[in-house]
Amino acid sequence: MKSAVIVFPAANCDRDAKTALTQMTGKEPHMVWHQDSELPDVDLVVLPGGFSYGDYLRCGAMANQSSIMGAIKAHADKGGAVLGICNGFQVLTEAGLLPGALMRNAGLKFLCKPVGLTVEETQSSFTRKYDKGQEIHIPIAHGEGNYYADEETLDRLEGEGRVVFRYTDNPNGSARDIAGILNEKRNVLGLMPHPERVVDDALGGTDGRAIFQSLIEALS
């Protein structure tokens, strides 16, 4: 599986994503600067977590204006896999690649801790190595992780099996406990928790490994 990680100004998790992908695939991903206009020939594009452009305006709004976003949209339109983690999820909603928006946490505080998730959907390239209903623990680190969409959109996400992860104890007020969703083609995943931080026992857990294992199996 060939992969690329997008590097935005102030997005501080690009190296975490690089380390996880290198460990899981045995190959270093391409590190693509946000002002590049083209992607290398890859199967997977990762939009990492962090605070692109210092989270000015709305989280992800300025990153969505980066030159590379046109190539990412084209990659997704062709069926290429895109994974947006935390700030990457916010960028994907700003770009219209995923519905809804991420708002300030309900408690108006930054949250940084492991959280419980339930795997809701395993029929995707991102989750096939999990079991449906499996409970996992993955850390969050965000101040704007409160997922919002109108009721019609939420019903559609539920009805089409596009809610992939759900919080077991909702930390941020997200609608219907949603922690991660797919697009209609099921090749774009956005989630607020950080799976790249739990792929090694030395870091305190391995519950994020199955996302990368699923992608390797699906895309290799």
Instruction: Record the tokens describing residue 125, joined without a space.
Output: 């390239």
Instruction: Record the tokens describing residue 95, joined without a space.
Output: 């770009």
d(C-alpha 99, C-alpha 68), whole Å: 20
59 is catalytic: no
Taking CA atoms, 176 is separated from 61, 71, 157, 171, in Å, by: 24, 32, 11, 12
Strand partners, 82: 45, 188
194 is catalytic: yes
Instruction: Record the tokens describing residue 49, joined without a space.
Output: 């977590």
Confirm if 59 and 87 have CB atoms less than 8 A apart. yes
Task: Tell me the three state secondary structure of residue 81.
Answer: strand
- The candidate with the shortest Cα–Cα distance to 167, out of 198, 130, 193, is 193
DSSP code, position 108: S
13 is catalytic: no
Confirm if 43 and 80 have CB atoms less than 8 A apart. yes
Q: How many CB atoms lie within 10 A of CB 15?
A: 15
| Catalytic residue chosen out of the listed positions 75, 86, 120, 121 | 86
d(C-alpha 161, C-alpha 83), whole Å: 17
Active-site residue list: 86, 194, 196
